[in-house]
């Protein structure tokens, strides 16, 4: 991203906004790392170590090396949980970055005195002014190229393996959150189980909210580019500039989506469908009395 937009990121206002949002995300992810570490401690201390099958087996048959096995299990569990969250964090930060680039582009288009000169100057003066038409042509081409860079970035983002993995982790862990919470609460039969269930729900819920909201914001920002073009005073441009304008207008009219897992769109509509699936799983568990059977 820095290679594509190195010149744009020199803007002070844009870089400050980006740093603030990035700091907020980092605080959120630090909170999630703390939750995951707490979950690992609960599962490996107190009643938890007597409920994990591997540790129970090691305690029964390999007492001499039980603490070595316990440490290895705690280590790989923590590393696995942190690695999964790191993948999510990297994907979210990569998704947030173009949001500010697009916002800077739309603000630049709205405040561009050259492209919006038709609102304040008479029509005949601008159409017959060759220097003005050349400058408009240059500005339109720069914006058009910048938009192509944004589309190329989204295409690369959608094709990244870690983004696909991140989407699969969030989607399928969210669908399995109810059974996982049931296992935690029923296996421990104490407050440790309830705490583990709450921590699982917090981690999955925050990741899901960030994911679908970021995808929706990205779609809205691309739509804003199209709206900015529609309200430009194109009637004072010559035929060559109008051709560029129509080409750009056609390109921005196409919807832009971020994709995860098996080409699942990331927006609030997909988020609602995701919630519906979780609700169906909850109703299935409730109506079949699976909780009582456990």
CA dist 40 → 73, 94, 203 (Å): 10, 28, 13
> Is 121 a member of any domain?
yes
Classify residue 190: in a domain, yes or no. yes
Instruction: Flag whether 230 is in a domain.
Output: yes
Classify residue 289: in a domain, yes or no. Answer: yes
Contact between 213 and 268 (Cβ < 8 Å): yes
* 13 in any annotated domain: yes
Q: Would you call 273 exposed, middle or buried from its count of C-beta atoms within 10 A (0-12, 13-18, 19+)? A: exposed
- 112 inside domain: yes
Rounded to an integer, the average pLDDT of 60-77 is 81
Give the chain's length.
Answer: 294
What's residue 4's pLDDT? 41
Given CA atoms 25, 33, 163, 282 in this order, what sign does their dihedral have?
negative
Q: Taking 70 as the threshold, does the pLDDT of residue 120 lie above it?
A: no
What residue has token string 């603030």? Answer: 20
In this model, does residue 166 exceed pLDDT 70? yes
- Residue 181 is predicted with a pLDDT of 66
Alpha carbon of 229 to those of 109, 119, 141, 222: distances in Å? 8, 14, 13, 11
Inform me whether the pLDDT recorded for 3 exceeds 80: no
State the alpha helices, DSSP H only, in 45-129.
Answer: 53-61, 66-110, 123-127
Parent domain of 205: 8-293
pLDDT in tens, 227-241: 888 888 888 888 888
Four-CA torsion 21, 23, 24, 27, nearest 10 degrees:
160
Please write the tens of the pLDDT for every residue from 12-62.
555 566 677 777 888 888 888 888 888 888 777 766 666 677 777 777 777
Tell me what the mean pLDDT of segment 244-248 comes to: 89
Q: For the chain, how many structural domains are there in total?
A: 1
- The pLDDT value given to residue 8: 41
- Of the candidate ranges 92-101, 113-122, 208-217, 255-264, the one whose mean pLDDT is the lowest: 113-122
Give domain status of residue 2, yes or no.
no
| Per-residue pLDDT tens over the stretch 94-119 | 777 787 788 888 888 888 887 877 66
- Do β-strands 259-260 and 264-265 pair in parallel, antiparallel, or remain unpaired? antiparallel
Lowest average pLDDT, out of 24-28, 68-72, 168-172, goes to 168-172
Q: How many CB atoms lie within 10 A of CB 93?
A: 16
Report how far residue 290's alpha carbon sits from residue 158's, in angstroms, rounded to the nearest whole number: 38
In a domain, 158, yes or no: yes
């Amino acid at each position: 991203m820095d290679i594509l937009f190195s010149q744009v990121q020199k803007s002070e206002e844009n870089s400050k906004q980006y740093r603030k949002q990035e700091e907020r995300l980092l605080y959120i992810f630090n909170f999630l790392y703390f939750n995951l570490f707490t979950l690992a401690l609960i599962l490996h201390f107190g009643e938890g170590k007597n409920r994990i099958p591997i540790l129970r087996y090691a305690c029964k048959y390999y007492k001499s090396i039980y603490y070595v096995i316990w440490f290895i299990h705690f280590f790989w569990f923590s590393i696995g949980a942190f690695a999964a969250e790191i993948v999510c964090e990297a994907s979210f930060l990569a998704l947030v970055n173009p949001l500010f680039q697009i916002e800077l582009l739309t603000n630049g288009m709205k405040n561009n005195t050259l492209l919006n000169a038709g609102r304040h100057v008479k029509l005949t003066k601008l159409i017959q002014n060759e220097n003005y038409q050349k400058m408009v042509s240059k500005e339109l081409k720069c914006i058009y190229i910048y938009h192509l860079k944004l589309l190329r970035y989204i295409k690369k983002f959608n094709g990244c393996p870690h983004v696909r993995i991140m989407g699969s982790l969030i989607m399928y862990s969210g669908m399995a959150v109810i059974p996982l919470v049931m296992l935690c609460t029923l296996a421990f039969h104490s407050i440790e189980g309830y705490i583990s269930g709450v921590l699982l729900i917090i981690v999955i819920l925050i990741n899901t909210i960030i994911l679908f909201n970021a995808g929706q914001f990205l779609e809205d920002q691309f739509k804003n580019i199209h709206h900015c073009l529609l309200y430009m005073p194109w009637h004072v441009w010559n035929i060559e500039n109008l051709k560029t304008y129509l080409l750009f207008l056609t390109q921005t009219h196409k919807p832009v989506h971020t994709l995860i897992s098996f080409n699942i769109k990331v927006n609030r509509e997909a988020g609602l469908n995701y919630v519906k699936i979780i609700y169906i799983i909850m109703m299935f568990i409730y109506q079949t009395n699976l909780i009582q059977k456990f």
